Structure 1
């Protein structure tokens, strides 16, 4: 018969401490008093604050994605990140009881070899659609496991929409029976951009002055959200010639942009997103 040997006192103390720590963490998650929620950006919160926010009904999470890409000679590469961080906060405030996940910066940007699209320009950083989709799914699964009941994907970059839609559709079908909903907020980009174009046309702009990628709207939006990242004196034309690039990566007439216009344009995107989210979350009678 084996002889029972008690653990040394030092090991008993360690095991006891670990047990108490684990019990303490579980207890803290549910017993600490819950002060009013002061922050809604998860990256700025402690885990205790997130737990307390969940306990107070903050069970909706926004997952914004931006992108690191060339935006012509005047806009910083993190244009999308800056804009979607600003709009995500306004959307969360409009919804109420909503927390914001950190911006996903790495998104699909085109083919790598040979490079296409924005990847032709130095500084653009992209991932495959599969990698991006996997990132979104991992974030959503993390949020679901923590108790979030509504998960909203919002992309500021057009190339992110298709994989975002696939992930949201799959997870929503799988999780809806459990009471967890997932939405790709496409109207933020699609309806929002359409509304921006109509607004600019009403202001007297034309397709030529509005442009598309890194156009008037992008410049105005960044002037409203991160003006330090817009500089019309940044890149002299000879630099473009030395790089062998046919264009400078921008379009339209960026110098017609103003911060005031940017705030109006961003409001249209926020309103388009809020309208779609409210249709999605409103119980059907």
Structure 2
């Protein structure tokens, strides 16, 4: 079966088929469902008995236990007297304390509740239930990857979400190869230029930009949320040049504020495209002979075909004889995807090495 047929047979276009099946990062032959069109599948059976599920780490992460204890402490210190004044809505301090105590007890019960079904075989937090995330943390998946992309103009052929498509494939591979990581939802909106007075990519329709301070605040909140739930290593990677400074600054600020317990790691190696081009030339013997002068290149186009050929308008370009970029043909979709897999694999391997070094060195 050719690549197009395989992608179509995956259902609804099968974007995730290219990532999980073509790259070999997930079991082949399992039923695949979900928004990412193929990334999902049934996970292995539960690895512990119901009683073990209740007993392991007290049925919750350390952060969850701390939250419950804090809630209980607040309930205890609220003044409780027979003549306590009524608060907002006519609720007395005693009543508020009782309500908070019940909420803490309910949360404790939730944390100890066994997952009733098998977990989904996904590394994406947004695709998992809260119980699946809880159990992944228990099993040692305490590294979270925050990837930043963008919505910007990328010439006449590539979707505005170019970087986000790349990250769907890359974060999937990085998390699976690390073995102890999950992917936060891709941060799809980033600084792309001035808004009130459009500059940079904002001069082109379809681009969406954030102010730098907004971008950094989002990164801070996402990372802090992950830390609150028990992730101990928060990794920042980005596929766009304008994102790098913000990620580095936020990682440094978080480490200064956290001072232990969890670490933030900015990993610039993921974005070193020059290394990818050098590897493509030395290992694959491929060099771009020309430059079309648009915000596009063979490396990123071929990687995008691994995730979704429609994102590069492959069929439409073939139909009008425009299936090339910078002097290299992409008309043969099968061959282009195979090259994209190799390039994506190189980026994944390089980034995994960098993440392990950063975590091991505590930087």
With normalisation by structure 2, the TM-score equals 0.64
Which of residues 27, 46, 55 in structure 1 aligns to 2:129?
46
Equivalent in the alignment of 1:242: none
1:218 aligns with 2:300: yes
Unaligned runs of 5+ in 1: 5-10, 238-249
Equivalent in the alignment of 2:338: 260
- Please provide the CA RMSD for this pair: 3.3
Shift of 1:21: 5.3
1:129 aligns with 2:212: yes
Query: What is the DSSP-based 3-state SS (H/G/I as helix, E as strand, rest coil) of the residue aligned with 2:144?
Result: strand
Which of residues 174, 182, 198 in structure 2 aligns to 1:99?
182
Which of residues 288, 303, 309 in structure 2 aligns to 1:227?
309
Which of residues 229, 234, 239 in structure 2 aligns to 1:151?
234
| Distance in structure 1 (CA, Å) of the matches to 2:117 and 2:196 | 53
Contact 2:155/2:294 (<8 A) preserved: no
Equivalent in the alignment of 1:275: 353
Cα deviations across residues 222-258 of structure 1 (Å, max 9, x unaligned)?
Answer: 1111112121537x99xxxxxxxxxxxx973464482
Unaligned runs of 5+ in 2: 1-81, 84-90
Contact 2:298/2:328 (<8 A) preserved: yes
Equivalent in the alignment of 2:62: none
Equivalent in the alignment of 2:139: 56
Contact 2:153/2:295 (<8 A) preserved: no
Shift of 1:208: 2.7
Shift of 1:53: 1.6
| Distance in structure 2 (CA, Å) of the matches to 1:204 and 1:21 | 61
| Distance in structure 2 (CA, Å) of the matches to 1:36 and 1:184 | 34
1:197 aligns with 2:277: yes
Contact 1:66/1:156 (<8 A) preserved: yes
Which of residues 173, 185, 191 in structure 1 aligns to 2:267?
185
Aligned pair count?
262
